[in-house]
Amino acid sequence: MNILFAASEIEPFAKSGGLADVCGTLPRELEAAGHEVVVFMPAYRCVRRCEQPITPTSIELAVPVGSKLISGRLLESRLPNSDIPVYLVEQADYFDRNELYGENGESYTDNCERFVFFCRAVLEAARLMELEIDLVHANDWQTALLPVYLNTEFLDAPPFTDVATLLTIHNLAYQGRFWHWDMLLTGLDWKYFNWRQMEFYGQLNLLKSGIAFADAINTVSPTYATEIQGSEQGCGLEGALQGRSSDLSGILNGIDSLVWNPSRDPYLAMKYTVANWREGKARNKVSLQKQLGLQVNDSLPMVGIVGRLASQKGWDLILPVMKQWLKTIDVQWVVLGTGQPEYETELLNLQHAHQDKFSMNLQFNEGLAHMIEAASDMFLMPSEFEPCGLNQMYSMAYGSVPIVRRTGGLADTVINCNERNLDNGTATGFSFGPFLPQSLEQALAKAVCCFQNGQATWNLLVENGMKNDWSWAASTARYVELYEKTLTLRRQTHQHV
Ligand code: ADP
């Protein structure tokens, strides 16, 4: 099958979160399964720092955005360890900026225009290159206009004849909502600006538009696929999603086992496997303690947290528990993340007050993220909601026992340590339900108690997690199945029109 894959961030070219990991890995897995994939993303300023060679192409683009014709150019690279072409859409005014989507906590004010341009540029480039395409796979709001254009303005225009579309929702909380006049930028007829398609409480909603027009929709875990059809997690789009429930599925993300693998990870002080994890983790812990100026003691429990400092990640639960524990309990905390200024300030204050047992790392640092997974005994991720989550899977692969809230992909990947799950040999971590500090504290206390007094159980949790198959194999097969089903349905429906 020929797949055109479009996303706003792709590892190793640009990354702000898990979307980039997924979009850097899934195309490679599809190629390994025998499919032809081409990938499109914007040429942000940061892509120049990427080690992958990037070369110009002769393809010049002229893209209508509202009443303007915007010029752009296509650059070309490859996904590492693959033959997959990555086409980077260059347009300096839109993409040659410090960040991907905004600065100092504020989104760029022209984000709608930037991604209208990007989506149209992808289609224009595919047309100029006469790409053979069976299916266009769009990801999140930034590329959600692709299914809209392919079912309106570009319907059956070569080379898009019979092209099927899939929209993957990586996080429903980010929808690309803009004032209604931005509809003019899309160049689409106002007739689509209605509550069933592109309009949402008077605004233009790009994700909703994609949900309305894509042939199939999926999200990144089965539990999240169910949750987003309810009012609690539906972010206002539960009605739109319920309306498409027969076309909506959940496919769990996998992890890139070339990159996230403790037996070959170049960032670690000592590489290890499930056969020597005790020594490996102890050596990495001591090394990280020295590096971060923490008390050096490999028997002290270390709790790791890596992720965006956003309320989604449960900081309103973590901070009160952390503050209490730092005063009374001998546990080391290592945090890596950037995000909401109020969390940054509180975490820096804690670092000042408790230098020997608290390390706050306010940065985006890939190497440190790997070291934290390897060095920590426990990994905390009590998200309010979590479409899939990658860090809990990384932590299990690295033998760091996850403590999570049972929601979305966390519920689908972390099996709670209780009698039944220990007996049947599936337990991999600790999970709790209510979004309350005391529930987190209980789970954390249970984990620390098990670490200190229940060696046999702890070993089992670590080893179950490390032995699990977190690779993309099963999920890639599910994506291929979904592509095939979507394409067949699309072609059948079109024959009957
Ligand atoms: P989300 O996509 O919601 O941010 P995920 O757990 O799915 O959460 O993925 C987060 C990804 O971003 C992981 O690869 C994680 O290691 C990485 N990450 C997040 N913050 C940082 C940071 N400050 N430094 C390095 N990596 C980070």
For residue 170, the ligand 1 atom closest to its alpha carbon is 2
CA 246 to ligand 1 center in whole angstroms: 31
DSSP-based three-state secondary structure for 435 = coil
Asked if 363 and 402 sit in the same domain, the reply is yes
User: Is the peptide bond between 159 and the residue preceding it cis, with omega within 30 degrees of 0?
Assistant: yes
For residue 22, the ligand 1 atom closest to its alpha carbon is 7
Asked if 481 and 436 sit in the same domain, the reply is no
| Residue whose token pair is 């956003």 | 310
Which are the contacts of 100, defined by CB distance < 8 A and separation ≥ 6?
8, 9, 14, 16, 44, 46
Asked if 219 and 347 sit in the same domain, the reply is no
State the sign of the Cα–Cα–Cα–Cα dihedral 117, 58, 54, 29. positive
Asked if 193 and 164 sit in the same domain, the reply is yes
Q: For helices 315-328 and 341-353, what crossing angle results, to 10°? A: 10
Give, in order, the Cα–Cα distances in Å from 215 to each of 4, 35, 124, 464.
15, 20, 21, 38
For residue 171, the ligand 1 atom closest to its alpha carbon is 3
DSSP-based three-state secondary structure for 233 = coil
373 lies in some domain: yes
CA 444 to ligand 1 center in whole angstroms: 22
Q: How far apart are CA 408 and CA 385, in angstroms?
A: 6
209 lies in some domain: yes
Please tell me the predicted confidence (pLDDT) of residue 495.
66
Asked if 165 and 178 sit in the same domain, the reply is yes
For residue 313, the ligand 1 atom closest to its alpha carbon is 3
Q: Closest Cα to atom 22, ligand 1: which residue?
A: 364
Which of the listed residues 21, 139, 384 should we mutate to test ligand 1's pocket, taking the one with most ligand atoms within 8 A of CB? Answer: 21
DSSP string for 359-394: EEE-S--HHHHHHHHHH-SEEEE--S--SS-SHHHH
79 lies in some domain: yes
Q: How far apart are CA 184 and CA 457, in angstroms?
A: 60
Q: Which domain holds residue 122?
A: 2-254+474-495
CA 170 to ligand 1 center in whole angstroms: 13
Q: How far apart are CA 459 and CA 136, in angstroms?
A: 44
Q: How far apart are CA 146 and CA 5, in angstroms?
A: 11
Q: What is the CATH number of the domain that holds 461?
A: 3.40.50.2000
272 lies in some domain: no
Per-residue pLDDT in tens (0 to 9) along the chain, 497 residues? 999 999 999 999 999 988 999 999 999 999 999 999 999 999 999 999 999 999 999 999 999 999 999 999 999 999 999 999 999 999 999 999 999 999 988 999 999 999 999 999 999 999 999 999 999 999 999 999 999 999 999 998 999 999 999 999 999 999 999 999 999 999 999 999 999 999 999 999 999 999 999 999 999 999 999 999 999 999 999 999 999 999 999 999 999 888 999 999 999 999 999 999 999 999 999 999 999 999 999 999 999 999 999 999 999 999 999 999 999 999 999 999 999 999 999 999 999 999 999 999 999 999 999 999 999 999 999 999 999 999 999 999 999 999 999 999 999 999 999 999 999 999 999 999 999 999 999 999 999 999 999 999 999 999 999 999 999 999 999 999 999 999 999 999 876 44
Q: How far apart are CA 217 and CA 145, in angstroms?
A: 13
Residue 121: name the closest of 97, 102, 93 by CA. 93
Asked if 241 and 132 sit in the same domain, the reply is yes
Which are the contacts of 497, defined by CB distance < 8 A and separation ≥ 6?
none
**Tally of domains within the chain:** 2
Q: Where do the DSSP E strands lie in 245-377?
A: 248-250, 302-306, 332-336, 358-361
Which are the contacts of 96, defined by CB distance < 8 A and separation ≥ 6?
44, 45
Per-residue tokens: 155: 């319907």
Asked if 463 and 480 sit in the same domain, the reply is no
390 lies in some domain: yes
For residue 338, the ligand 1 atom closest to its alpha carbon is 23
CA 306 to ligand 1 center in whole angstroms: 7
Phi, psi of 216 (to 5 degrees): -140, 155
147 lies in some domain: yes
H or E element in which residue 200 lies: strand 199-200
Please tell me the predicted confidence (pLDDT) of residue 105.
80
Asked if 370 and 434 sit in the same domain, the reply is yes
Question: CA geometry: angle at 183 spanning 88 and 160, to 5°?
Answer: 50
| Residue whose token pair is 């394409």 | 487
Q: Where do the DSSP E strands lie in 47-187?
A: 55-65, 68-78, 85-90, 102-103, 106-107, 135-139, 164-169, 177-178
Q: How far apart are CA 462 and CA 468, in angstroms?
A: 10
CA 226 to ligand 1 center in whole angstroms: 24
For residue 312, the ligand 1 atom closest to its alpha carbon is 3
Q: Closest Cα to atom 24, ligand 1: which residue?
A: 364
For 175-185, letters b (16+ CB in 10 Å) and e give: bbbbeeebbeb
Give, in order, the Cα–Cα distances in Å from 213 to each of 40, 116, 180, 251.
20, 16, 19, 20
User: 409 with 224: CB under 8 angstroms?
Assistant: yes
CA 393 to ligand 1 center in whole angstroms: 12
For residue 409, the ligand 1 atom closest to its alpha carbon is 7
CA 35 to ligand 1 center in whole angstroms: 28
Asked if 290 and 417 sit in the same domain, the reply is yes
For residue 15, the ligand 1 atom closest to its alpha carbon is 12
Asked if 300 and 379 sit in the same domain, the reply is yes
To the nearest 10°, the Cα dihedral for 297, 303, 309, 314? -160
Asked if 239 and 153 sit in the same domain, the reply is yes
User: 384 with 311: CB under 8 angstroms?
Assistant: yes
262 lies in some domain: no
Asked if 427 and 484 sit in the same domain, the reply is no
Give, in order, the Cα–Cα distances in Å from 64 to each of 100, 123, 130, 210, 291.
22, 12, 19, 20, 52
Which are the contacts of 58, defined by CB distance < 8 A and separation ≥ 6?
none
Which of the listed residues 168, 379, 390 should we mutate to test ligand 1's pocket, taking the one with most ligand atoms within 8 A of CB? Answer: 390
CA 41 to ligand 1 center in whole angstroms: 19
Per-residue tokens: 81: 């360890």
Please, which residues bridge with residue 168 across strands?
139, 218
Please tell me the predicted confidence (pLDDT) of residue 357.
95
Please tell me the predicted confidence (pLDDT) of residue 345.
97
Q: Closest Cα to atom 12, ligand 1: which residue?
A: 17
Using only C-alpha atoms, what is the Rg of the chain? 23
CA 47 to ligand 1 center in whole angstroms: 18
264 lies in some domain: no
Pocket of ligand 1 (CB under 6 A): 17-19, 21, 306-308, 336-338, 364-366, 369, 389-391
Per-residue tokens: 313: 């990640």
CA 17 to ligand 1 center in whole angstroms: 5
User: 214 with 183: CB under 8 angstroms?
Assistant: no
Q: How far apart are CA 192 and CA 398, in angstroms?
A: 48
CA 59 to ligand 1 center in whole angstroms: 34
Q: How far apart are CA 400 and CA 379, in angstroms?
A: 6
For residue 308, the ligand 1 atom closest to its alpha carbon is 20
CA 3 to ligand 1 center in whole angstroms: 26
